[in-house]
Every structure is written in C-alpha cells, then in structure tokens.
Amino acid sequence: MASLHSEEFKRDAVRIALTSGLTRRQASSDLGIGMSTLNKWIKTYRDSDVVSKGDQDLAKENERLRRENRLLKEERDLLKKATIFFADQSK
C-alpha cells in the first residue's frame, strides 16, 4: 500500500508536534492525521535531524514557562478569592 503522505510532510508533522507547544492530540487534529499515526512518526523520526538541538531546547523552555505561567495564574486566582473572603469577614 502506497504512503499517503510524503517524507517531507511526516518530518514537518514531527517537527510541529515536538516544537509547537500543542498537545499531540491538537497537532494531529490540525494536521488532519490520526494521533496514533503521529505518534508512530514521532517514534520513527525523533532521533533524526528533523528537530535541531536549538529547537528542542526552545521547546523545553517554552513548556517550562507554560507550566510556570499556569501555576502563577492559579496562585493569583487563589489570592483574589482570599482577598474577597477576608474583605467580607472584616465587615
């Protein structure tokens, strides 16, 4: 059975999945391929030159910053609720 997607498309899909910050589910949906297909391509091409070392480092830093940002937003929301609670208690 002939492959529906070119090698270039597969490599680009892997690069997007690993560096875009999207979940694999989002990336596969955006690319119009199944998640299991994307996972298979990632397994095949992960160690190739599809994603440069710089891009991998950048993707890791982006993920770390997203987690930190999510935590800070949760803390801010908690502090807002605490402020409202204590303001109501002092009345």
Range of the domain at 66: 52-91
Q: Please, are residues 58 and 19 in contact by the beta-carbon 8 Å criterion?
A: yes
Give the model confidence (pLDDT) of 19-31 as tens digits.
887 888 999 999 9
Q: What is the rounded CA–CA span in Å between residue 13 and residue 8?
A: 8
Which pLDDT value is given to residue 49? 66
Extract the residue ranges of the chain whose pLDDT is less than 50. 1
Q: How much is the pLDDT for 2? A: 52
pLDDT of residue 44: 87
Residues 61 and 17 in one domain: no
Same domain, 56 and 45: no
What is the reported pLDDT for 41?
Answer: 92
Q: What pLDDT sits at residue 1?
A: 46
Copy the structure tokens of residue 10: 């597969």
In CATH, what number is assigned to the domain containing residue 8?
1.10.10
- The verdict on 44 and 11 lying in the same domain is yes
- The tally of domains found in the chain comes to 2
Residue 85 and residue 56 share a domain: yes
- Calpha distance 75→24 (Å, rounded): 27
